[in-house]
Amino acid sequence: MRLLPVIAAAGLGLLAACDVSHPVAVVGPGNTVFKGTANATFLEGGWFQATNGKTSCQGRYRPGSQSGTVTFPVTCSNGLTGVGTATYETPRAGGGEIVMKDGSRWKFIFGRAALAV
């Protein structure tokens, strides 16, 4: 009986360390497309990074809430910053919007749909 909690804790530790990677596409002003990757862990949340070849943007987020929505700060190499909100449609796909401090609104897509952008 004492072995069961040890096995459960070991399994939870493996899940926490498991990284999942998704393709990401971000569409900015003038249909500028940024492509990259989002990485997530079960308990720690994750991060994304995307580039259009000249500028790169990144953000870090906490694990999703029960609603499946995450909010995250975004910082770009050109000094632009903003806040993104994304909703998981499935555990591996979803999207949302990034609102930059300059008022521009960028589309954020992760999962297979990002490959079509």
| CATH code for position 75 | 2.40.128
Percent of the chain with pLDDT strictly greater than 70 = 79
Backbone phi and psi for residue 113, each to the nearest 5 degrees, phi listed first: -60, -25
pLDDT 10s digits, 22-60? 999 999 999 999 999 998 776 677 899 999 999 999 999
Number of domains in the chain: 1
Bridge-based pairing of strands 45-51 and 56-61 is antiparallel
Contacts 24+ apart (CB under 8 A), 93-98: 93/22, 94/68, 96/69, 98/26, 98/59, 98/74
For residue 114, is it left (φ>0), alpha (ψ between -120 and 50) or beta?
A: alpha
pLDDT 10s digits, 76-87? 999 999 999 998
Which structural domain, as residue segments, surrounds residue 12? Answer: 3-115
| Lowest mean per-residue pLDDT among 40-44, 69-73, 109-113 | 40-44
